Amino acid sequence: MRIGIVAVLGLLFAVSHPRPVAEVPLQVVPLGDVPAADLALLRRDLSRTFTGPVQASPQRPLPREAWLKNRQQYDAAAMLAESARWPRSPGEKLLLVAAADGCRQDLSYVLGLAQPADGVAVVFLGRLGVDAGPERYHRRLLTEAHHELGHLLGLPHCDAPRCVMRYSHTVADSDAKGSAFCARCRAEVSGER
């Protein structure tokens, strides 16, 4: 009888408190003039999704070595390669938040990029405000941050229409999907399969 009650209570707990996605110590690093409100929102929201401490570093300058003068943009891959060399605690993931526009060699711009092998990812604020008020801008920021962190946890792109791991290139693509993991992606990173 007692076991039955414990089991029922355990089930109720599991239903009302879905397990956070994954234990991941995370450092959010603002590059350039990132609004304090953006950082506060990211820390609050990411710590709901991921367990483990979500720290915010002091602001760093945008890295000169990643600046592409001819394109007037930052090279996302160069930025990640640079940040992978910064000292950090073992296992800690880095999410760079760059107050700039970013690109890749083969793409005219990117909203974000992840380098899972190095545990580093970046989200660029430069285009998130296009045709958006503060609410939509913040939703895009959280969506892109969750997407890149999903890659850091080993997730590939997902075809589910509302899944945050769906590929998005434009802000319209970002708006069309949700900012949460679908059940399958969530199970994947939580080890609940």
Residue ranges binding Zn ion (CB under 5 A):
158, 160, 163, 165, 182, 185
Taking the complex as a whole, the smallest distance from the CB of residue 158 to Zn ion amounts, in Å, to: 3
Q: Where are the alpha helices (DSSP H) in the chain?
A: 2-16, 36-49, 76-83, 134-152, 171-176, 183-190
Pick between residue 41 and residue 180 the one whose CB is nearest to Zn ion. Answer: 180
Taking the complex as a whole, the smallest distance from the CB of residue 35 to Zn ion amounts, in Å, to: 24
* CA–CA gap between residue 98 and residue 66 (Å, rounded): 12
Q: How far is CA 4 from CA 11, 12, 19, in A?
A: 11, 12, 22
Buried b (16+ CB within 10 A) or exposed e, 33-42: ebeeebbeeb
H helix count then E strand count, the chain: 6, 9
| Ramachandran region, residue 18 (left: φ > 0; alpha: ψ -120 to 50; beta: rest) | beta
Annotated catalytic, 148?
Answer: yes
Taking the complex as a whole, the smallest distance from the CB of residue 166 to Zn ion amounts, in Å, to: 7
Taking the complex as a whole, the smallest distance from the CB of residue 32 to Zn ion amounts, in Å, to: 23
Considering 65, 82, 148, 192, which one is annotated as catalytic?
A: 148
Pick between residue 46 and residue 56 the one whose CB is nearest to Zn ion. Answer: 46
Pick between residue 22 and residue 56 the one whose CB is nearest to Zn ion. Answer: 22
Pick between residue 28 and residue 185 the one whose CB is nearest to Zn ion. Answer: 185
- List the catalytic residues: 148
